[in-house]
Amino acid sequence: MYEIAIHNVTKRYDDQLALDNVSARIEEGEIFGLLGPNGAGKTTLIHLICGLIGMDSGDILIGGRSMKTSPEELKAMIGYVPQEIVLFDSLSVKDNLEYFGRLYHLSGMQLKEKMRSASEITGLNDHLKQKVKKMSGGMKRRLNIACAIMHDPKILILDEPTVGVDPQSRNHILESIRKMNRTQKTTVLYTSHYMEEAEAICDRLIILDLGKELVQGTKKEIIRTITNETVVEILTDHLPNDMTEAFQEILGVKKVSITEEKIHLIIDSSDHIVEKVVRLLSAREVKIRNLSVDNPTLETVFLSITGKALRD
Amino acid sequence: MIHNTWKVVGAILAKDLKVAGSQGALIVLLLVFPLALGLFYGLMYQNVFDQNITWAPLTVFLLDETGEADQGFIGKVLNVESLPFVQKRIVSSVRGFEESLAEQKDAVGIAIRRVEGQTLIYWHPIGESSLEKSILLQAVEKGIEEYQWQFRASVFLGSEAESFQKVWETFAARPLFREIAREDIRVLSTIEYFLISLFAAFGFMFSTEFLRDREQKLLARAFMAGIGKSTLYWSNFLSNFIIFFAGILVYFAIVFGLILRSSIAIVPFFGIAALQALVVSAFQSLAGGLFKTNKTGLAFILPALFVMLYLGGAFYSVNQEPTMEKIANFLPNYQLFKLYEGLVLGHPYQEASRAFILLAVSTVMAFIGWFAFTKKEVI
């Protein structure tokens, strides 16, 4: 069994609380999303699961065994793809794969076979002799993943693996993760800034902010938490300075976010609030260039809960 | 378990060799830079320091009223073989002594006289002071000191004086009176000096990518493969040792084989080279254990290197100044230099105690680094 159970984990860096009593359970064979803005505690939680840092309180169990008591055996089950590109720049793709394979005690034919399969999954089989420093950002990201899956890990942990990647490489990376999950029943823990990625591949999610768990569940369950809300986006030609306060005075407006000439509102689905908003804008002589009313997405859930966009 | 540990060592060594092979800057830093700088300084200063001394003949008139001039200590001191510039003239009377000196423009007169039951020694230099006169005067003073000791020993100890000297030498582990061997007069040429001293210091800059790997989280990634911190630390230490040891062999093959064409004792050379690789690996591992980033690591390594360069005699001979030599004795590059110096001068085991000091220092540094590395989080 390769499920991950996180029990009331707390971690501090000096006086700063990085994780505050976070709990979650990641089932074997599922793709679990870990979402949150910068400073939410995502990477800290990943480092704790990987046993790279120690926790102040709580425990993390993998397959029922604690990371505190059997760290080396548990680490060998995990494939960890760090947020940064952690590779030897001056070496080739093949040399990098070989090095990490050897660290996992692979050798001979077995090593060659694993190098072949890892490079195939990540689409690097035609680039084995290429030096890492001459590769594009997307290709490096793929190699970053390939090095982590050399030993066929039961659990794959990816910390924002698609940052700064071109759409083609991003699709390839996401497809590789799905394929590993589907064919090898790999348990995947995935963090991202990109909500659409999380929506596309994750079975369940947890949203963190400032080290605290905000919400957890399947995509549908999470969206249901704000199901009586509607998202309104209005594009205008200009906006007076005090519009945020003016919108907040309308009963039923829950969140207001204004960037230049774009207004983003989360409102109650009832009570003709859209009409009140339009009336307010025309009273202030603001011309509406476009207005859209949408059902909530994970992005709007996040905005609703935290009051800020995921990429802030 | 042990088998897996060696696999990790092999993986890290193979990786480090590939990385080193792909980095021309490393080869330049390790081999070309000390070679070029050593040759530059050596050639620049050879006319200053490598002058052959041509002795000027010094006539010494010797009056000995005790009749022991040929057997006694003065006789020994004025031996032509030990002081090649001395031209000894025996005179038999005070008048002859005075007349002989009066005719000279540049000479020395030594008179050993009996006055009221005491033996007195008179020193009469004629002409300007010179290096030869200074050396002769020092030799005479040393001879008097030795004679006085032997005289007192025979008065107090009688026939036991000789056996006392043997016992003393056994316990002190050195002769009571040091006889300067002819070979000791040979010193390193400036080219030999700089080629060794600069490499002994700059060698401390050699490191594999331990610190960089730690900063860029490559160690964390290796740590994720289930490898213990101790295994990671000692594997990197060993890799650093092996690669630098090979580098030392290449460097000195060029220096001794191609440039100096000097013959050295192979066994002690391998021992000293291994010691240098050990102390440098320990130093770099200490930095890798204590610091998490290249920047902080360099903030430790560079000042240490500058201290070694300037106080450890990399650019000048600290032997000229006793205080500087005492300070230099605290620095590992000076200890290494002295070992290599002994090797080149043909007495490689004379400074063996320095090897034990370096061994102890390396052990302490390596274990402090290991302790710090295993106690801290890897990222």
Residue A216 predicted with pLDDT over 80: yes
Contacts of B78 (CB under 8 A, 6+ apart): B60, B62, B69, B86, B88, B110
Q: What is the mean pLDDT of residues A288-294?
A: 88
Shared domain for B86 and B213, answered yes or no, is no
Longest CA–CA span in chain B (Å) reads 97
Mutate to test the interface with A, among B216, B219, B224 (most CBs of A within 10 A): B224
- A187 with A154: CB under 8 angstroms? yes
Q: How far is A267 from chain B (nearest CA, A)?
A: 44
Q: Which residues contact residue B361 at a Cβ distance below 8 angstroms, ignoring those fewer than 6 apart?
A: B279, B282, B332
Chain A contact for B32 (CB, 8 A cutoff): no
Q: Are residues B298 and B226 in the same domain?
A: yes
Q: CB distance B379–A73 less than 8 Å?
A: no
Residues B90 and B229 both lie in one domain: no
Joined together, the tokens standing for residue A71 give 């760290």
Compute the average pLDDT of residues B80-85. 71
Q: Which CATH superfamily is domain A4-223 in?
A: P-loop containing nucleotide triphosphate hydrolases (3.40.50.300)
Residue B181 scores a pLDDT above 50? no
Q: Is B1 exposed, middle or buried (0-12, 13-18, 19+ CB in 10 A)?
A: exposed
Q: Would you state the pLDDT for residue A59?
A: 93
Q: How much is the pLDDT for B180?
A: 47
pLDDT in the model for residue B73: 61
Q: Give ranges for CATH 3.30.70.980 in chain A.
A: 228-295
Q: What is the pLDDT of residue B183?
A: 41
Where among B167, B184, B201 does a domain terminate? B184
CATH, residue B113:
3.40.190
What is the pTM (predicted TM-score) of this model? 0.71
More confident residue, B45 or A142: A142
Mean pLDDT score, A262-267: 88
**What pLDDT does B182 receive?**
41
Q: How confident is the model at residue B76 (pLDDT cuts 50, 70, 90)?
A: low
Task: Classify domain A228-295 by CATH number.
Answer: 3.30.70.980
Cα gap B119→B66, rounded to integer Å = 8
Task: Please tell me whether residues B260 and B174 are part of one structural domain.
Answer: no
8 A C-beta contact, residue A273 and residue A291:
no
User: Based on the domain organization, do B246 and B123 belong to the same domain?
Assistant: no
What is the distance between the alpha carbons of residues B237 and A35, in angstroms, rounded to a whole number?
A: 40
Residues B236, B331: one domain?
Answer: yes
B379 Cβ under 8 Å from any chain A Cβ = yes
Domain count, chain B: 2
Q: What count of CB pairs under 8 Å joins A to B? A: 71
Compute the distance between CA of residue B318 and CA of residue B312 in angstroms, rounded to an integer. Answer: 7
What pLDDT, on the 0 to 100 scale, is given for residue B158? 76
Q: Do B35 and B195 meet the contact criterion of CB atoms below 8 Å apart?
A: yes
Stretch A259-267: mean pLDDT? 85
**DSSP letter (8 states) at residue A231:** E
Question: Is a pLDDT exceeding 70 seen at residue A28?
Answer: yes
Question: Helices B266-290 and B294-311, interaxial angle, to 10°?
Answer: 140
Do A88 and B19 make contact, defined as CB atoms within 8 angstroms? yes
Residue contact B217–A82, C-beta within 8 A: yes
B223/B298 same-domain check: yes
Express each pLDDT in A68-81 by its tens digit: 888 888 888 999 99
pLDDT at A262: 87
Q: Which residue has the tokens 């092996």?
A: B242
Taking an 8 Å cut-off on Cβ atoms, the answer to whether A90 and B22 are in contact is yes
For A95, the closest chain B residue by CA position comes to B15
How far apart are the CA of B181 and the nearest CA of chain A, in angstroms?
55
B78 versus A248: which is more confidently predicted? A248
Closest C-alpha among A149, A191, A155 to residue A67: A155
Contacts with A, B 192-231, CB within 8 Å: 216-218, 220-228
CA dihedral B9, B10, B16, B17 (to 10 degrees): 150
Q: Which residues of A touch B226 (CB under 8 A)?
A: 72-73, 75-76, 104
Tokens at B233, concatenated = 């630390």
Q: Is B257 in the same domain as B129?
A: no
What is the average pLDDT across B298-324?
86
Residues 6+ apart with CB under 8 A from A104: A76, A150, A151, B225, B226
- Which residues in chain A have Cβ-Cβ distances shorter than 8 Å to B1? none
Of B184, B215, B231, the domain-final residue: B184
Is any Cβ of chain A less than 8 angstroms from the Cβ of B22? yes
- The yes-or-no verdict on residue B248 having pLDDT over 90 is yes
By CA distance, what is A83's nearest residue in B?
Answer: B217
DSSP secondary-structure letter at B256? I
In terms of pLDDT, which residue wins out, B121 or B79? B121
In angstroms, rounded to a whole number, what is the distance separating the alpha carbons of residues B38 and B202? Answer: 11
**Average pLDDT of the residues of chain A:** 88
Mean pLDDT lowest for which of A77-86, A87-96, B55-64? B55-64
Least confident of B154-158, B249-253, B366-370: B154-158
The boundaries of every CATH 3.40.50.300 domain in chain A are: 4-223
- In the predicted structure, residue B135 carries a pLDDT above the cut 70: yes
Task: Provide the domain limits for residue B131.
Answer: 58-184
Spatial neighbors of A167 by CB under 8 A, at least 6 apart, are none
| Contact partners, residue A41, CB within 8 Å, separation at least 6 | A11, A18, A19, A22, A208, A210, A211, A212
Burial of B44 (0-12, 13-18, 19+ CB in 10 A): exposed
Measure the N-to-C terminal CA separation of chain B; round to a whole number of Å: 25
Average pLDDT over residues B186-214: 86
Domain end among B127, B152, B184: B184
Higher-confidence residue: B72 or B206? Answer: B206
pLDDT at B79: 63
User: Based on the domain organization, do B31 and B74 belong to the same domain?
Assistant: no
The pLDDT-based confidence of B5 (bands split at 50, 70, 90) is: confident
Give me the pLDDT at residue A97, please. 96
A60 three-class SS: strand
pLDDT tens digits for range A123-132: 899 999 999 9
- Distance between CA B337 and CA B99 in Å, rounded? 53
Q: Other CB atoms closer than 10 Å to residue A129's CB: what's the count? A: 9
One domain for residues B362 and B214: yes
Q: Is the pLDDT score of A310 beyond 70?
A: no
In this model, does residue B67 exceed pLDDT 50?
yes
Nearest to B201 by CA among B290, B287, B279, B260: B279
Lowest mean pLDDT segment, chosen from A167-181, A215-229, B292-306, B350-364: A215-229
Which residues does residue A207 pair with via DSSP β-bridges, in sequence order? A35, A215
Closest CA of chain B from A13, distance in Å? 12
Q: What percent of chain B has pLDDT over 90?
A: 31
Share of chain A above pLDDT 70, in %: 96
